[in-house]
Amino acid sequence: MTQSNAPLVGQSVPRREDRALVSGKGRFLDDIASPGGLHAAFLRSPYAHARIGTADLEEVRAMPGVVAVYTARDLAALLPGGQRLVTGLPSSSIAFALDRPILPEHETVYVGEALAMVVAETRAEAEDAAEMIDLDLDPLEPVADLENAARHDAPKAHAHLPHNRLARFGFSYGDIAAAFDGAPHVMSRRFRIDRGGAHSMEGRGVLAAPDAMTGRLSVWSSTQTPHALKRHICTLLARDDAEVEVTAPDLGGAFGPKLVTYPEEIAVAAAAQALGRPVRWVEDRREHFLAACQEREQLWTVEMALEADGRIRGLRGTLLHDHGAWTARGLNVPYASGMMLPLMYEVPAYDLDIIVTVTNKTPVTPVRGAGQPQATYVMERLLDAGARACGIDRAEIRRRNLVTPDRMPCERPLKLRSGEPVILDSGDYPRTQATALEGIGWHGFEDRRREARARGKRLGLGLANYVEGTGRGPYETVTIRVARDGRIKVNTGAAAMGQGVGTALAQIVAEHLGRDPSTIDLTLGDTREPYGFGGFNSRQTVVAGASADAAARVVRRKVLQVAAHLLQMPEENLDIAADLVIVAGSNSGEGLSLAEIAAASEGLPGYRLPGIDTPGLQATERVLIEGMAFANGCLAAEVEVDEATGAVHVARLFLAHDCGRMVNPQMVDGQILGGLAHGLGNALYEKMCFDDQAQPLTASLADYLLVTSAEMPVIEIAHTESPSPLNALGVKGVGESGVIPTAAAIASAVEHALEDLGIEISEAPISVQALHAAIRAARPGGPE
Amino acid sequence: MSDKTTITLTVNGVPRTIACVPRKTLADALREDCRLTGTHVGCEHGVCGACTVMVNGAPVRSCLMFAVQAEGAEVRTVEGLAPEGGLSVLQQAFIDHHALQCGFCTPGFLMLITGALQKDPDMSDEELTEVLSSNLCRCTGYRNIVRAALAAAPAIRASVRETAA
Ligand code: FES
Ligand code: FES
């Protein structure tokens, strides 16, 4: 039990998840035994674009261990509710629907797309057979490049499409022509951000088991959104809600791509139901490289108009966004980018044209950061260029433009996708920046830099401000019930994905109900509750936290009402300590147990309820959240660039950070550190490469580089807590904070290190080769 | 391909005889035939280290080793790091330093650190830190893993030396 008086929310309570995980007793998808179960493997498209012909399956069906082989046509019979997954969010800007088929019948549109499924007794037999499927594929011209895709004469990513421009929309306010007309400075730049993956250490996976006795279908999936999966299974298999149960076991990380329902999940569920046996599919790393959703690829052509003193007059341009081959989530990523670009600075006029293009590449959905890192990169690069043009310090130009705390809550001339206005809820952006500058030693740096230069070393310092939109509504359900044995049962649609959300929710609930998290039993991602969403958009501590807090308050009230009745004492004199109701302030260890109170609360035949007007100690809350809680931060980075090779060494990162009230500071730091590591990858290493036929060239961890401990710089984090006024707890999300500013801050530092050479950094990741070439070009004689 | 070979090995001190096809990896044999699912498979191509176990006292990537190659070997997995219900100093240090989030990579790191120090207890802190860069973690940003390893290292070194003496 924790200290009796300090609030639990705000303490680094040890994680309830850890003991099992360090003992090898975690229960990840592939750890779940399914005796007598079958294994699925998929034949995946070797071409980025091809017409699908006929398949000869006779031989494959006869292979050892093979139980069933399904092509699109075979599967159709098992999917009475339709053969397409409608997972995209609606938008009136979308020109044509591109909902994914479970298995495509006539045309395949990216390398790695599942074309046929084999179910066999063992995984090896399923994989052997899938490899042997003889499927006629007639290659079509692919669209490999985003820029090319937008052209009118480009080949079509899907043969039937009129063009590849899935959507065109934008953001616009203020008098943009006047802002640029006669502006003392105009910065015009192009930026390219590359595609990358999420690469949770555990890939996707699904296990479906039908129950012959009840006819029910139980499904386990490594998903962030068990509720969505359940809805899709019920729809496509035409099953009733009550007949399907979906559980997310322990997740070995997620980071975005496990947010949407995938064709493989539906195909496996359909096969299990048809075959009457459990069927399992576990993604391997190569499949994760090809078929798990990816993100980030964008091309920006932008201009910023400035006053002579560096104040922003306007911002305009075009964003080309790569959507991949199907609509797996919708326009949320480019929308977030466009909304984020001017958000935290005073930008009086803004005009951004967004073109979303379909390409023959893996579908795009959010990867940790979701469009926000790209926008931050672009804005911060423009400000660095602006500082140079105006001849002022890079920090000063930001300070002159940041939204100031006296404007909070500050309504922006922008709208959330719901149509609600964007309101920056709280925070002190200039002070956050000042903290970061102080932390990294911004003001004494010139001397250090000069000194290092004299020793032949090129040091650079960079910075990036950012906001993170967190706590996406509308709600998450939380039900709290004190069971007859006195245990506190918490059920919620919020889903665990390895970030410790269970620990955080237990803290929030325990705050009101005895202050001892060990009395609480949690069921996360509970699909027996019909209304729920799951984990994305750094939302769960905010949205589920708000419902947990509200439900715990109601249950506390009921506990005390029943106890007051039983003890014949006023409610105000009572308190809950661990599993006892005690006289407030007493330390005697005596009291009425929650078990007794729970039993009494059920009532007795013919008697009045004890002090309450509805039976039981239970409450369900779905607190509606409309606005988003904006966390903010400023990252300062110190780098050293090797002039001879173009190699960048990141020496230090200092993050000044504000995510409102922190529920568990140790877990907040953990989220930030993980995000920074991912951001470091985005800044320097992680790039999904394709050839001109849209064939992936980096489909193993040997080719696509994830950051290891050796690349991690010294990291310091300073927190400020500006409580969000949008929820009773004052919390904001933190899951994406680390990743958003990192590429921007490192690019800023690299540019600074090469300042005298006039090299501008306009891409992420920064490639060593390109940087080396730029250095050579800037000084043809090579380094002195 | 489907003819099974009988293999005898010791896993966490318990002698075991299993029958598996020659192409089965040690990782799969441990997970499927021994039902020890604490050893995880993150890439199956020898890069991530999630599958690290100890074979004859040294850390090994069990996805790169065939089960038949473990004939007669002493294998130790995360389940064998501490007696049932207990935690090793290193496991406790991982909890204390928040060195895990999803925990998928954790068994691999625990076996890597334990195995590296078992093999070479004289390894310096710097060398140990370098060894850590052989495994991948996507959640933690590594800092807390390094801290946990360095905090537990003296105790692990001492116990290895004691057993050797
Ligand atoms: S699974 Fe063995 S190294 Fe990745
Ligand atoms: S804790 Fe999740 S991969 Fe390391």
Inform me whether the pLDDT recorded for A254 exceeds 60: yes
Give the best residue of B139, B140, B143 to mutate against chain A (max A CB count within 10 A). B139
Residues in B touching A63 (Cβ below 8 Å): none
Report the residue from B104, B107, B133 with minimal CB separation from A202.
Answer: B104
Q: Is the CB of A26 under 6 A from ligand 2?
A: no
Report the residue from A500, A700, A738 with minimal CB separation from B101.
Answer: A500
The pLDDT assigned to B2 comes to: 58
Mutation test residue for ligand 2: of A15, A17, A22, A201, the one with most atoms within 8 Å of CB: A201
Inform me whether the pLDDT recorded for A784 exceeds 50: no
Q: Where does the pLDDT of residue A735 fall: very low under 50, low under 70, confident under 90, or very high at 90 and above?
A: confident
Q: Where are the domains of chain B?
A: 5-80, 89-164
Q: Which residue has the tokens 């609606």?
A: A90
User: Residue A474, preceding bond cis, omega within 30 degrees?
Assistant: yes
Closest approach of chain B CAs to the CA of A650, in angstroms? 14
Inform me whether the pLDDT recorded for A732 exceeds 60: yes
Inform me whether the pLDDT recorded for A88 exceeds 90: no
| Binary contact (B98, A670; C-beta < 8 A) | yes
The pLDDT assigned to A1 comes to: 38
- Structure tokens, A282: 């576990």
Question: Which of the listed ranges A226-230, A465-469, A497-501, B49-53 does the model predict with the highest average pLDDT?
Answer: B49-53
Contacts of A401 (CB under 8 A, 6+ apart): A310, A311, A312, A345, A346, A347, A383
Q: What number is the ipTM of this complex?
A: 0.97
Q: Which residue has the tokens 């090469």?
A: A754
Helix axes A540-567, A501-512, angle to 10 degrees: 30
Q: What is the mean pLDDT of chain B?
A: 95
State which H helix or E strand residue A539 sits in.
Answer: none
Closest approach of chain A CAs to the CA of B86, in angstroms? 9
The bound ligand whose nearest atom lies closest to the alpha carbon of A253 is: 2
Report the residue from B23, B81, B101 with minimal CB separation from A674.
Answer: B101
Beta strands in A307-338 (DSSP E): 312-324
The pLDDT assigned to A2 comes to: 40
Domain topology for B89-164 = DNA polymerase; domain 1 (1.10.150)
What is the pTM assigned to this prediction?
Answer: 0.95
Tell me which residue has its CA closest to atom 4 in ligand 2: B137
A56 forms bridges with which residues in the sheet?
A134
Inform me whether the pLDDT recorded for A3 exceeds 50: no
Report the residue from A17, A30, A678 with minimal CB separation from B103.
Answer: A17
Q: Which residue has the tokens 């993100």?
A: A295
The pLDDT assigned to A780 comes to: 65
Between CA A633 and CA A536 the distance in angstroms is 20
The pLDDT assigned to A676 comes to: 97
Mutation test residue for ligand 2: of B94, B101, B111, B112, the one with most atoms within 8 Å of CB: B101
| Whole-Å CA distances, A453 to A424, A458, B63 | 42, 6, 47
- Structure tokens, A703: 């080719």
Contact of A659 with A731, CB cutoff 8 Å: yes
Q: Work out the percent of chain B whose per-residue pLDDT is above 90.
A: 94
pLDDT digit string (tens) for B62-95? 999 999 999 999 999 999 999 988 999 999 999 9
Inform me whether the pLDDT recorded for A782 exceeds 70: no
Distance A251 CA to ligand 2 centre (A): 10
The pLDDT assigned to A495 comes to: 82
DSSP three-state, residue A275? helix
Query: Considering Cα of A48, then A229, then A471, then A673, what sign does the dihedral take?
Result: negative
Q: Where does the pLDDT of residue A143 fall: very low under 50, low under 70, confident under 90, or very high at 90 and above?
A: very high
- Compute φ and ψ for A613, nearest 5 degrees: -110, -5
Q: What is the DSSP letter of A482?
A: E
| Binary contact (B139, A674; C-beta < 8 A) | yes
Q: What is the DSSP letter of A142?
A: -
User: Residue A409, preceding bond cis, omega within 30 degrees?
Assistant: yes
Rg, C-alpha atoms of chain B: 16
The pLDDT assigned to B10 comes to: 96
Residue type, A469: G
Contact of A565 with A617, CB cutoff 8 Å: no
Q: Is the CB of B4 under 6 A from ligand 2?
A: no
| Whole-Å CA distances, A533 to A86, A579, B39 | 16, 31, 31
- In this predicted model, which residue has the larger pLDDT, A541 or B147? B147
pLDDT digit string (tens) for A15-73? 999 999 999 999 999 999 998 999 999 999 999 999 999 998 999 999 999 999 999 99
| Binary contact (B133, A709; C-beta < 8 A) | yes
C-alpha A547 chain-centroid distance:
21
Pocket lined around ligand 1, Cβ cut-off 6 Å: B 41-44, 46-51, 61, 63
pLDDT digit string (tens) for A166-196? 999 999 999 999 999 999 999 999 999 999 9
Contact of A91 with A329, CB cutoff 8 Å: no
Q: Where does the pLDDT of residue B146 fall: very low under 50, low under 70, confident under 90, or very high at 90 and above?
A: very high
The bound ligand whose nearest atom lies closest to the alpha carbon of B148 is: 2
Inform me whether the pLDDT recorded for A783 exceeds 70: no
DSSP three-state, residue A732? coil
Closest approach of chain B CAs to the CA of A258, in angstroms? 14
Write the DSSP string, A592-620. Answer: EEHHHHHHHHT--TTS--SS-SSSSSEEE
pLDDT digit string (tens) for A418-450? 788 899 999 999 999 999 999 999 999 999 999
User: Residue A363, preceding bond cis, omega within 30 degrees?
Assistant: no
pLDDT digit string (tens) for A676-728? 999 999 999 999 999 999 999 999 999 999 999 999 999 999 999 999 988 88
The pLDDT assigned to A60 comes to: 96
Inform me whether the pLDDT recorded for A120 exceeds 90: yes
Inform me whether the pLDDT recorded for A642 exceeds 70: yes
Q: What is the mean pLDDT of residues A740-746?
A: 97
Number of continuous H segments (helices) and E segments (strands) in chain A: 20, 31
Distance A87 CA to ligand 1 centre (A): 32
pLDDT digit string (tens) for A5-19? 678 989 999 999 999
Inform me whether the pLDDT recorded for A615 exceeds 90: yes
Closest approach of chain A CAs to the CA of B147, in angstroms? 11
Between CA A65 and CA A122 the distance in angstroms is 7
Contact of A112 with A290, CB cutoff 8 Å: yes
Between CA A579 and CA A559 the distance in angstroms is 11
Residue type, A504: A
Q: Is the CB of B43 under 6 A from ligand 2?
A: no
Give the best residue of B24, B25, B94, B138 to mutate against chain A (max A CB count within 10 A). B138
Write down all domains in chain A, each with its CATH number in brackets. Answer: 18-25+473-621 (3.30.365.10), 421-469+628-784 (3.30.365.10)
Q: Which atom of ligand 2 is nearest to the CA of A253?
A: 2
pLDDT digit string (tens) for A469-512? 888 888 889 999 999 999 999 998 888 878 888 999 999 999 99
Q: Work out the percent of chain A whose per-residue pLDDT is above 90.
A: 84
Q: What is the mean pLDDT of residues A647-676?
A: 94
Q: Where does the pLDDT of residue A251 fall: very low under 50, low under 70, confident under 90, or very high at 90 and above?
A: very high
Residues in B touching A19 (Cβ below 8 Å): 87, 95
| Binary contact (A201, B144; C-beta < 8 A) | no
Q: Number of CB pairs < 8 Å for A and B? A: 173
State which H helix or E strand residue B7 sits in.
Answer: strand B5-11
Domain topology for B5-80 = Ubiquitin-like (UB roll) (3.10.20)
Number of continuous H segments (helices) and E segments (strands) in chain B: 5, 5
| Binary contact (A124, B23; C-beta < 8 A) | yes
- Structure tokens, A497: 């994905």
Write the DSSP string, A742-768. Answer: HHHHHHHHHHHHTGGGTPPP-EESPPH
Closest approach of chain B CAs to the CA of A570, in angstroms? 42
Residues in A touching B143 (Cβ below 8 Å): 673, 712, 715
Q: Is the CB of B111 under 6 A from ligand 2?
A: no
DSSP three-state, residue A487? coil
Q: Which residue has the tokens 């250095």?
A: A775
Helix axes A540-567, A594-601, angle to 10 degrees: 80
Inform me whether the pLDDT recorded for B118 exceeds 80: yes
